[in-house]
C-alpha cells in the first residue's frame, strides 16, 4: 500500500499484528477501509499525535482464509489486537468498511468506547464494486473504479492504483475482497443503531458516490447522540481529499465532547 511520507512514522510489528502507534495520551483507534492503507490516515496522525496516542492496525483483508473472509473474522482480529495491546476506553474512528467495523464494535462493547467518528461508513447502504471484481486484467477498469471514489480523480495516485491493480491480479485476493464486500452488504445495522448512546461524529463527503449523503442523514437519524458535518467537493475518503477541513471538524468535536 502507499507508503507514509512522514519518515518519523514507523509501522510496528508484534506477533501477528502490524500497526502504527504514535503519540501519548488517550487512545484514538483508526480503522481503514477495504482498499485502505495506514497512509490514508497520515494527516490525522500528524495533526493529533501531539495530544493522543493514535493507533492504526493493518487489517488482514488479504490474509484471511478465503472461506472466512468477512466482517465477523475482521472483528475477531480487532478484538484480539485490542486485548494484545491492552487498550481500554478509547475513541474509535473508521472510514468505509472501517466505519462498519467501528459500529459493530461499539454495539458489542459500548463501555470500551468513549467517542465514535464515522466517515463514508458502510452498515446501511453502499454502492459496491463487488460484482465487478472479475475484470481483473483491465488496468483502465480498475483505474476508473478507484478514481470513482474521489471527487478529484487526481487524488488517486498512480502508485495507489498500481497497488490495487496488482492486488486484484490475485484470484484469492479477489475472492477475499468479494467475500468481505458481500458480508458488509448482508450486515445491515439499521435495526440496531438506536442502541448506540456513545457520542458520535459523522464527517461525510457531500459528493460521496459510494455512501451518498442520504446515507449520512440516515445514520444521523438513527444514532441518538450524533452530529453530522458535510465537506463539499469531497467524495468517499474526506481525510485524504480534504485533510485540513476534516481535521478542523474533528478537532472541534473532540474539544466540545472532552470527558474527564
The domain locations on the chain are: 11-256
| pLDDT given at position 134 | 45
- CATH number for 11-256: choose from 3.40.50.10480, 3.40.50.720, 3.40.50.300, 3.40.50.1820: 3.40.50.1820
Cα(226)–Cα(196) distance, rounded to whole angstroms? 10
Give the mean pLDDT of 75-92.
96
Distances (CA, A) of 159 to 62, 136, 166, 170, 224: 18, 17, 11, 18, 40
CA angle, residues 50, 55, 60, in degrees to nearest 5: 155
| pLDDT given at position 6 | 56
Among 49-58, 63-72, 168-177, 201-210, the minimum mean pLDDT is found in 168-177
**What's the pLDDT tens digit per position in 99-116?**
999 999 999 999 999 999
| pLDDT given at position 160 | 85
The three cell numbers of residue 132 are 465487478
Residue 215 has pLDDT above 80, yes or no: yes
CA angle, residues 14, 16, 20, in degrees to nearest 5: 50
Neighbours of 134 (CB within 10 A): 10
Q: Would you say 125 and 184 are in contact if contact means Cβ atoms under 8 Å apart?
A: no
Among 121-125, 132-136, 152-156, the minimum mean pLDDT is found in 132-136
**What's the pLDDT tens digit per position in 26-50?**
999 999 988 877 778 999 999 999 9
Residue 97 has pLDDT above 70, yes or no: yes
What does the longest C-alpha to C-alpha distance in the chain come to?
53
Distances (CA, A) of 192 to 11, 93, 188, 189: 35, 19, 9, 5
The three cell numbers of residue 129 are 464494486
Among 101-115, 157-171, 190-204, the minimum mean pLDDT is found in 157-171
Instruction: Look up the pTM and report it.
Output: 0.91
Amino acid at each position: 500500500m502507499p507508503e507514509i511520507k512522514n519518515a518519523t512514522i514507523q509501522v510496528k510489528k508484534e506477533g501477528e499484528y502490524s500497526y502504527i502507534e504514535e503519540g501519548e495520551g488517550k487512545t484514538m483507534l483508526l480503522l481503514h477501509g477495504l482498499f485502505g492503507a495506514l497512509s490514508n490516515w497520515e494527516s490525522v496522525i500528524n495533526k493529533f499525535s501531539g495530544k493522543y496516542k493514535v493507533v492504526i492496525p493493518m487489517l488482514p483483508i488479504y490474509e484471511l482464509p478465503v472461506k472466512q473472509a468477512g466482517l465477523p473474522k475482521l472483528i475477531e482480529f480487532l478484538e484480539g489486537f485490542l486485548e494484545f495491546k491492552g487498550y481500554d476506553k478509547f475513541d474509535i474512528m473508521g472510514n468505509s468498511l472501517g466505519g462498519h467495523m467501528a459500529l459493530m464494535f461499539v454495539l458489542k462493547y459500548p463501555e470500551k468506547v468513549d467517542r465514535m467518528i464515522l466517515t463514508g461508513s458502510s452498515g446501511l447502504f453502499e454502492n459496491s464494486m463487488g460484482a465487478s471484481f472479475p475484470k481483473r486484467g483491465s488496468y483502465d477498469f480498475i483505474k476508473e473504479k478507484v478514481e470513482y471514489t474521489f471527487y478529484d480523480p487526481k487524488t488517486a495516485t498512480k502508485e495507489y492504483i498500481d497497488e490495487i491493480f496488482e492486488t486484484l491480479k490475485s484470484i484469492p485476493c479477489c475472492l477475499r475482497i468479494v467475500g468481505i464486500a458481500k458480508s458488509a452488504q448482508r450486515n445491515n445495522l439499521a435495526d440496531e443503531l438506536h442502541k448506540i448512546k456513545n457520542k458520535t461524529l459523522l464527517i461525510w463527503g457531500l459528493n460521496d458516490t459510494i455512501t451518498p449523503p442520504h446515507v449520512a442523514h440516515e445514520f444521523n437519524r438513527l444514532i441518538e447522540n450524533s452530529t453530522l458535518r458535510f465537506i463539499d467537493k469531497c467524495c468517499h475518503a474526506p481525510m485524504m481529499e480534504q485533510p485540513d477541513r476534516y481535521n478542523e471538524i474533528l478537532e472541534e468535536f473532540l474539544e466540545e465532547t472532552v470527558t474527564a
